[in-house]
Amino acid sequence: MNYENEHIANTYQRLPVNIQNGSGAILHDINGKRYIDMMGGYGVAILGYGNKAVKEAVCKQFDIISIAHASEYTPAREEFIKDLTGIVPSGLDKFYLGNIGAEAIEAAIKVVIKSSKKHKIIAMTNSYHGKTAGALSITYSEKYRKSFGQLLMKDVEFIRYNNMEDLDKLDKDPDIAAVFFEPVQGEGGINIPSYDYVRELRNRTENNGIILVADEIQSGLGRTGKMWAHEHFNIKPDIITIGKGIGGGMPLSITAGKPEFMDNLSKGEQSSTTGGNPLAMAAGSAVIKQLGASMIMDVERKGNILRDELKAGLQDAKSVKEIRGLGLMDAIELKTKFLPVLMGMINRGILPLYSGINIIRMLPPYVISDSELKEAAGIMSEVILSQGTEVIS
Ligand SMILES: Cc1ncc(COP(=O)(O)O)c(C=O)c1O
């Protein structure tokens, strides 16, 4: 840990865990201590650790060809694209292949600016889209933005997430190229908008010729109990961004859109040396082939178990404001600061995520067992009940 601290840039909130290995939803640290992984590598480990099909696909691909730039054709990429076409919303079948989520957002920003010939982008309060310059420009948190004013796009406006009134803006401003939104906000604290709001957002963008981009980097790929979180609201966006679990641990992200928009990017206007590389393609195909309807239905069922167990365990907890979520994208909103609770949970062998200053966030692997979920919910409840109730002022 000390060597990492000395040499890795100090940009991450480090947790006191030193992970050695993992299997399924269980991790072990270098001393052999067991953790139930409620963080899932920030939502990447959807199939858990040590997934055999992903391992075999990557090893096999390494022997065939490990590097083929996107200027060259290669069968692994073609297979991946066919697999991807099978899971994206119909018609959103032109892709830009990148490596990290923020890169998918950057590509989407270029697509909407080029397609609309307009420059204004509408984003939402509490949004999170990544930390590269374009993505940061549409990310809400002042904490992340404040030192980098000169990097940020000027023509960005934030409207209130899940606020009907603010949608009037879309009728009044002819300069808007696109709206970027998360169908369920992740980093912002697992915020689920109302059905009517998302429907209205789609109507207004459609009526005003505004491109609607759904950032599904955290909420997509079955995480909320449907393949894409926007399906809960019965809408179809024009572009979606995909990341995190799609690469089975290999860096892989996708901007998927209607060809009429994606085709507006010209040669050279967006590229990545490793985007669409064969190893990520092989891993991605192996992930998609395992993401069947039954696994996604199971995510919904497991999410219900998790929230039911937490609600039962925490019914008398004075420090809990709300337990909410969709599928395995869940939160416990506390009335107290999360840090002592998080440390207490880590101490007891549970590794959750957090948001803001008072939210415990959960993005466990889909392969977590019912008994592991119940064990985690039980321990998390005990830790919360054992903590003080000093309310945030
Ligand atoms: C909704 C959303 N968009 C974009 C990103 C950025 O992804 P990355 O960290 O891979 O750049 C994240 C990461 O958490 C995210 O949750």
pLDDT digits (tens, 9 = 90+) for 35-93: 999 999 999 999 999 999 999 999 999 999 999 999 999 999 999 999 999 999 999 99
Are the CB atoms for 387 and 331 separated by under 8 Å?
no
Q: Which of 42, 217, 355 to mutate to test ligand 1, by most ligand atoms within 8 A of the CB atom?
A: 217
What's the confidence (pLDDT) of residue 1? Answer: 79
Q: What is the pLDDT of residue 387?
A: 87
Query: Could you give the angle at which helices 278-290 and 52-64 cross, rounded to 10 degrees?
Result: 150
Q: Which residues on adjacent β-strands are paired with residue 178? A: 121, 211
Q: How far apart are CA 188 and CA 124, in angstroms?
A: 10
Report the pLDDT averaged over residues 315-339: 97
Helix (H, G, I), strand (E, B) or coil at 126: coil
pLDDT, average across residues 338-363: 97
Q: Taking phi first (over 0 means left), then psi (-120 to 50 degrees means alpha), and beta for anything else, what does residue 141 get?
A: beta
The rounded Å distance from CA 386 to ligand 1 centre is 33
What's the CA gap between 162 and 183, in Å, rounded?
A: 10
Chain centroid offset of residue 297 CA: 19
Residue 389, pLDDT > 70, answer: no
CA distance to 1, 187, 197, per residue, from 143 (Å): 26, 13, 28
Residues 136-159 have pLDDT tens digits of 999 999 999 999 999 999 999 999
Inter-CA distances, 208 with 22, 87, 167, 211, Å: 49, 28, 11, 9
In CATH terms, are 2-50+293-386 and 52-290 the same topology? no
pTM equals 0.98
pLDDT at residue 90, as a whole number: 98
CA of 24 to the centre of ligand 1 (A): 23
Over the range 105-127, which residues count as b (16 or more CB within 10 Å of their CB) and which as e? bbbbbbbbbbbbebebbbbbbbb
Atom of ligand 1 nearest to the CA of 185: 1
With 0-12 / 13-18 / 19 or more C-beta atoms within 10 angstroms meaning exposed / middle / buried, residue 130 is: buried
Ligand 1 atom nearest to 219, measured from its CA: 1
Alpha carbon nearest to ligand 1 atom 4, residue? 129
Kindly give the number of the ligand 1 atom that is closest to the alpha carbon of 103: 11
Atom of ligand 1 nearest to the CA of 244: 10
> Across residues 267-291, what is the average pLDDT?
98
CATH number of this structure's domain 52-290? 3.40.640.10
pLDDT at position 388, please?
Answer: 65
Alpha-carbon distance values, 2 to 5, 6, 33, 185 (Å)? 5, 6, 19, 34
Residue 217 C-alpha to ligand 1 middle, in angstroms? 6
Please state the atom number of ligand 1 nearest to the C-alpha of residue 218. Answer: 16
- Domain positions in the chain: 2-50+293-386, 52-290
- Name the packing angle between helices 370-386 and 293-313 (round to 10°): 30
Residue 218 and residue 244 in contact, taking contact as beta carbons nearer than 8 Å: yes
User: How far apart, in whole angstroms, are the C-alpha atoms of residue 50 and residue 22?
Assistant: 7
Q: In 3-state terms, what secondary structure has residue 250?
A: strand
Distance of CA 147 to the CA centre of its chain: 24
- Is the pLDDT score of 22 beyond 80? yes
- What per-residue confidence (pLDDT) applies to 227? 98
On average, the pLDDT of the chain sits at: 97
Distance 373 CA to ligand 1 centre (A): 25
Calculate how far, in angstroms, residue 241's C-alpha sits from the geometric centre of ligand 1.
10
Q: CATH homologous superfamily of domain 2-50+293-386?
A: Aspartate Aminotransferase, domain 1 (3.90.1150.10)
Average the pLDDT over 177-206 and give the result.
Answer: 98
CA distance 93 to 258: 6
